[in-house]
Structure 1
Amino acid sequence: MSAQPLPPVVRRAIDAANAADTQAFLDSFATDGAVDDWGRLFYGPDAIRAWSDREFIGVRVSLTVTGARQSGDTTTVSAQVGGDGFNGPSGFAFTTAGDGITLMRITG
């Protein structure tokens, strides 16, 4: 996977997660945005916040981007994940519309 520049909204979401800034992370999503964590779906800011508090920013996630590719409105990012939760390589697919993430799917 090549290291293409990330769309600004995807970069904002990753930077917010790395800064433990939950509000900035939530602000990167469209109003009706969602997270798909291996088939578990979290719709809207309240559900995304609860998920993140338990399993993402709340466990001090860190994301080091190792590659990215763009296909239409979806940016697939490879990252090395660290923190107090899952650690290791993972993939994230960010589907965007305008300046908001409509879906962040954890892919592996």
Structure 2
Amino acid sequence: MDDLTLPTAITTFISATNAANADQFVAQFTPDAVLNDWGTEYHGPAEIAKWNQTDNIGKQSHFELQDFTQDDATTWTIQLLVTGNGFNGSSPFRMTVKDDLLANVTILPD
């Protein structure tokens, strides 16, 4: 990794997942945020909260940051090693930050 610093919304996305703090996790998203999990989209905090319970904290997911790049002024791609009772493996997450919150998270097939 280089000397760039990840935005707080991204680091909190990781730390809230690892701490199983669902409220803090959902609070990192803008009111009109979209989370795209390999093509399935979840719109807004209520749908993202449901995804969180079925596919993330609800599956005891743990994220380990492996690498990241800054794609443009507001978008980052982070490589996470995911473990837990759901998906296990390394996956890239493309994240767009707006007003210090996550406006878009796209989980890409590796």
SS at match of 1:91: strand
Alignment of 1:41-56 (within 5 A): 41-56=41-56
Determine whether 1:32 maps to 2:54: no
Q: Deviations over 1:15-61 (max 9, x none)?
A: 10111111101110011111100110000111111111011110000
Q: Given the two structures, how large is their TM-score scaled by the length of structure 1? A: 0.94
Q: State the one-letter code of the partner of 1:106.
A: I
Which residue does 1:96 correspond to in 2?
A: 97
Which runs of no fewer than 5 residues in structure 2 stay unpaired?
none
The alignment covers a number of residue pairs equal to 107
Alpha carbons 1:59, 1:85 under 8 Å: kept: yes
Q: Secondary structure at the match of 1:46?
A: helix
Which amino acid counterpart does residue 56 of structure 1 have in structure 2? N
Cα RMSD, aligned residues only:
1.0
Which residue of the partner structure matches residue 5 of structure 1? Answer: 5
Equivalent runs, 1:65-80 vs 2, <5 Å: 65-72=65-72, 73-80=74-81
Displacement of 1:5 after TM fit? 2.5
Distance 2:32 2:16 in 1: 19
Report if the CA contact (8 A) 1:5-1:68 is conserved: no
8 Å CA contact 1:37, 1:106 repeated in 2:
yes
Maintained 8 Å contact 2:7/2:100 = no
Q: What are the equivalent positions in structure 2 for 1:13-24 lying under 5 Å apart?
A: 13-24=13-24
Unpaired segments of 5 or more residues in structure 1?
Answer: none
The answer to whether the Cα contact below 8 Å between 2:30 and 2:45 also exists between their aligned partners in 1 is no
**After the TM superposition, which parts of structure 1 deviate over 6 Å for at least 4 consecutive aligned residues?**
none
> Partners of 1:7 and 1:44 in 2: how far apart?
20
Whether the aligned pair in 1 keeps the contact of 2:78 and 2:92 (CA below 8 Å) is yes
